[in-house]
Amino acid sequence: MCLSSTLFLIEDDAAVENALHISMALAGLKIEVYPSGQAFLAAYTKDQRGCLLINLSQPEMEALTVQQELIRRNCQIPIIFMTEIGTIRRSLPAMQSGAFCLLEKPFPRQLLLDSIRAAMEQDCKNRSAPKSQAETDEIRSPLNFISCLNLNNINVQLCQ
């Protein structure tokens, strides 16, 4: 993981945001919290290293809209989507657009930490050398999608 990596969290629920912020800070992660996708997009520049953690359902701006805007801006930041039980089908567009990981709530803290660290490591690798357009497209390929699901309290990792 790069020393300058940051976890960017978009969370509109103050209680969830507070719990995640404390938990991730205790794990030694640098974290920036945004109340909405609009606030994050206004502040984020593509030279900032790290990963984005966002709930699939957001009231002001859907997470998929945030993802599409980052793609439009040519930002390569890995995105971890959180979703509620039963909303996996809604995540298909995120997967097709190169989501790094999908976590179905509730998920174990260690799974979240492992996913964040893996996403930050991927971000470091992606930034380590200049990429051609074909390599950039491959980074977003759905074939690279890793889904971290917690189905019936059994952690399953799906790789396509």
Alpha helices (H) along the chain = 14-26, 37-43, 63-72, 92-96, 109-127, 133-139
* Residue 87, pLDDT score: 58
Q: Which of 32-41, 122-131, 137-146 has the lowest average pLDDT?
A: 137-146
Tens digits of residue pLDDT in 52-101: 999 888 778 888 899 999 999 999 899 999 887 655 666 666 666 678 88
The owner of tokens 């930034």 is: 127
Topology (CATH level 3) of domain 6-127+134-159: Rossmann fold (3.40.50)
Does the model's pTM come out above 0.85?
no
User: Where are the domains positioned within the chain?
Assistant: 6-127+134-159
Contact 89, 98 (CB under 8 A): no
Tens digits of residue pLDDT in 115-125: 999 999 999 88
* Residue 102, pLDDT score: 86
* Residue 139, pLDDT score: 46
Three-class DSSP category at 154:
strand
Tokens representing residue 52 in the block: 């984005």
